[in-house]
Amino acid sequence: MKQFPVILSLAILAACQPSEAVQKEGFPAGRWVDLTYAFDENTVYWPTAESFRLDTVSEGVTDKGYYYSAYSFCAAEHGGTHMDAPVHFAEGKNAVEQIPLEQLIGPAIVVDVSDKAQGNRDYLIQAIDFETWEQAHGRIPDGAIVLVNTGSGQFWPDRKKYMGTDARGAEAVAELHFPGLHPDAARWLAEERAIKAFGLDTPSIDYGQSTNFESHQILGAANIPGLENIANLDQLPPKGSMAIGLPMLIRHGSGAPLRIVALVPED
């Protein structure tokens, strides 16, 4: 694990290549899976958050005869594939730029609760879900990035299906329905295991009907970042992958857009 920060630039370079099996110095042969949704006008944001906007500054052939394009963008911190810094719900804990780089790189485990969650859009991920995973695959390793596949990715970017409503504004928050992490399970991860980060394929760590966001509070207090709206979790095995999740480095940020990828080694 100590080699990851040294070869981080190679990881980013490799992530830009096609997803077929690749061999890069310092990495085993495998395929890269992009776990990030592109940011555009369809990106899912919280009903009260400002959505992504891309404005054209210049696009076309200049009077000197060469093509030139440039754009500006505007968006809330929390939307699309993004990171919640611990300070988002825990005063005095790490802001985006304070999260150690090594906490954003590590072995990925994927817990699949899609069968349970698709029958119940308000499903709360339980500690037993992690314990069941451990019965099949062994103890969650120290330093793991824990990801949960609820099956919600199949609905992206249909806001109504993905998050329960396509309405906007404060009154729409009560209409949100999507799976999330039970506070008891958040406490189990924070206290019983030594994980680096927790992520899932929904708009929030807490389920849609949460009103006090207790799982955010618990993980934030333990300085564990949250990764939300993660894509393509069905393409990862339960264990064996390496995840790299790098947020936009916003100083004092409570969150940031996230580019997250995973390397799945060859069998």
Give CA–CA dist 31/22, Å, rounded.
Answer: 6
Instruction: Please give the average per-residue pLDDT across 203-217, as a whole number.
Output: 98
Instruction: Please give the average per-residue pLDDT across 117-121, as a whole number.
Output: 93
CATH topology (fold) of 8-50+77-265: Glucose Oxidase; domain 1 (3.50.30)
234: three-class secondary structure by DSSP: helix
159: three-class secondary structure by DSSP: helix
Give CA–CA dist 207/72, Å, rounded.
Answer: 33
Instruction: Quote helix, strand, coil % in the chain, to nearest 5.
Output: 25, 25, 50
pLDDT band, very low/low/confident/very high, at 267 (cuts 50, 70, 90): confident
Give the containing element (helix H, strand E) for 15: helix 8-15
pLDDT band, very low/low/confident/very high, at 17 (cuts 50, 70, 90): very low
Give CA–CA dist 102/1, Å, rounded.
Answer: 9
pLDDT tens string 129-174: 999 999 999 999 999 999 999 999 999 999 999 999 999 999 999 9
pLDDT tens string 74-114: 999 999 999 999 999 999 999 999 999 999 999 999 999 99
Give CA–CA dist 245/149, Å, rounded.
Answer: 17
In terms of pLDDT, which residue wins out, 214 or 118? 214
Q: What is the CA radius of gyration of the chain?
A: 19
pLDDT at residue 26 in the model:
64
User: Where do the domains of the chain lie?
Assistant: 8-50+77-265
Looking at the predicted structure, is the pLDDT value of residue 8 above 70? no
